[in-house]
Amino acid sequence: MPDDFLLAVINFATSTLTAITGAGGGMILIAVMPFFIAPQAMIPLHGATQLSSNASRAWFGRKSIDFGDFRPFLIGSLAGAAAFGVLVNFLRLDSVPLFIGVYILLSLWSARFNHFIRNFENFYVIGFMQTGLSVFVGAPGPLALAMLHRRHADTDTVVSTAALMMAVSHVLKMPVYVWLGFRFSEYLPLMLMMIAAAALGSYAGTRLRHLIPAAVLKKILHWLLTLLAVQLIAATAWRQGWLGL
C-alpha cells in the first residue's frame, strides 16, 4: 500500500506537469513504473491512468478543442490499434522496460529519430503511429503536438486537442490487453487511486498553466527523463545477465 500511494502521488505530479506543458508526464510515469509493478502490468495500467489524465485534461479545456484535426486522427488511431495489437503478441514482456528506455533516449537525443516519427503532415498517419506505438511503449509522446503547434498559436487549443488525441490512443489499446489476457480487476485498488490522482493533476495543471514558465519545466524534464531511461536500460540489462556480472 505505501508503494501504491507513492505511485499515485507521482502520477498526480506527472499529470500536473503534462497539463502545464502539454507533454512529458506520461513518459516520466512509464519510466518509474518498473520500480513499482511487474512488467506485464505496466502498459495496461499506464494506459488506464493516462486515459484519466488526458480525458480529464481534454474535458477541462473542451472549449478549445479543434475537432477538425481530431476526426482524421481518430480514423488513423483505429487502424493503428488493430495493426500493432497483433504485433504485440511477439514482444517479450520482460523486455518492455528496455524498449521504453531506448525509446525515451532516442526521442530526447536523436534528431533523425524525431524527424522520422514526428515530421508527419497528415493526422491519419499521426493517429496510426501514435496509437500503434502506445501499445508497445505506453507513452509515445503526443506525436501530434509538433503539427498542432504549427497549426495553432493558442496554447490551450494545442494542449486540449493533444489531450483528446492521447485519450483516444489509450482507450483503444485497452481492448488489446484484455484480449491478451490481462485482468484489470486484479489491480483495481491501485488503478482507481491512480485514476483519481491523474484527474486531480489535470485540474491542478490546467489552473497553473499560465503561472509557471513552461520552458523551465521542459528543461528539467529533458534531463530527468534521460536519467530515468538510462536507469531502465541498466536495470533490465542487469536482470537479463547481459552485463556478464
User: What's the pLDDT tens digit per position in 74-101?
Assistant: 999 999 888 887 777 776 656 666 776 7
Question: In terms of C-beta density within 10 A (0-12 exposed, 13-18 middle, 19 or more buried), how is residue 74 classed?
Answer: middle
Instruction: Give mean pLDDT, residues 122-133.
Output: 84
pLDDT tens by residue, 186-231: 888 888 888 898 889 888 888 887 776 766 666 766 777 677 778 7
Q: At what angle do helices 188-208 and 39-60 cross, to 10 degrees?
A: 40
pLDDT tens by residue, 5-33: 888 899 899 888 877 776 677 777 877 88
How far from the centroid of its chain's Cα atoms is residue 207's Cα?
A: 21
For the chain, what are the domain ranges? 2-240
Instruction: Give mean pLDDT, residues 116-145.
Output: 73
Contact 207, 19 (CB under 8 A): no
Its pTM surpasses 0.75: no
Rounded distance between C-alpha atoms, residue 127 and residue 142, angstroms = 10
Residue 152's CB is within 10 A of a number of other CB atoms, namely 17
